[in-house]
């Protein structure tokens, strides 16, 4: 089966600019996650969707980050305006459902550099 697809792989922008990342989960996976992985750290959950509804966005900096999952399939994560501390890899993951023992399948991520 095809894995989680993310684009772009790399993005370089200046601070205060805006940027968007796209994720296409594994076909049939109802649950979609966005993680932020800062260099030298483990991934941190930003937002979790169940179909097209938000389940957990408690760690999403809502003043500058937004995400949507229209039609319960693809998802977009946006940062506006970007700050230097947003430099990180943004990982998308999906799972068949939200159960505790369901493994999450990760994409290769988008590496964002803020100048």
Partner 1 sequence: AQSVTQLGSHVSVSEGALVLLRCNYSSSVPPYLFWYVQYPNQGLQLLLKYTSAATLVKGINGFEAEFKKSETSFHLTKPSAHMSDAAEYFCAVRETSGSRLTFGEGTQLTVNP
**Shortest gap between Cβ of 111 and partner 1 (angstroms)?**
8
Query: Contact between 88 and partner 1 (CB under 8 A)?
Result: no
SS3 assignment, position 26: coil
| Interacting span for partner 1 (CB under 8 A) from 19-27, 67-75, 76-84, 95-103 | 95-103
* DSSP 8-state code for residue 27: T
**Residues ≥6 apart with Cβ < 8 Å to 100:** none
Give the Cα separation of 55 and 52 in Å (integer). 9
Query: How many helical (H) and strand (E) elements, i.e. helices and strands, does the chain have?
Result: 0, 11
Site string (44-83) toward partner 1, x via CB under 8 A: xx--x------xx---------------------------
**Shortest gap between Cβ of 81 and partner 1 (angstroms)?**
27
Give the Cα separation of 34 and 93 in Å (integer). 6
**Shortest gap between Cβ of 46 and partner 1 (angstroms)?**
11
| Interacting span for partner 1 (CB under 8 A) from 11-19, 21-29, 61-69, 96-104 | 96-104
**Residues ≥6 apart with Cβ < 8 Å to 101:** none
Site of interaction with partner 1 (CB under 8 A): 4, 31, 40-45, 48, 55-56, 91, 93, 95, 98-109, 111
């Amino acid at each position: 089966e095809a894995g989680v697809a993310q684009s772009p792989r790399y993005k370089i922008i200046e601070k205060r600019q805006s940027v968007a990342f796209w994720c296409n989960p594994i076909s049939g996976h109802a649950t979609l996650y966005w993680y932020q992985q800062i260099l030298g750290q483990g991934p941190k959950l930003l937002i979790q969707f169940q179909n097209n509804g938000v389940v957990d966005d408690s760690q999403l900096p809502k003043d500058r980050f937004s995400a949507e999952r229209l039609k319960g399939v693809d998802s977009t994560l946006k940062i506006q305006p970007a700050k230097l501390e947003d430099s990180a890899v943004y990982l998308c993951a999906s799972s068949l459902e939200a159960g505790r023992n369901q493994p999450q399948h990760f994409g290769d991520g988008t590496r964002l550099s803020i100048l």
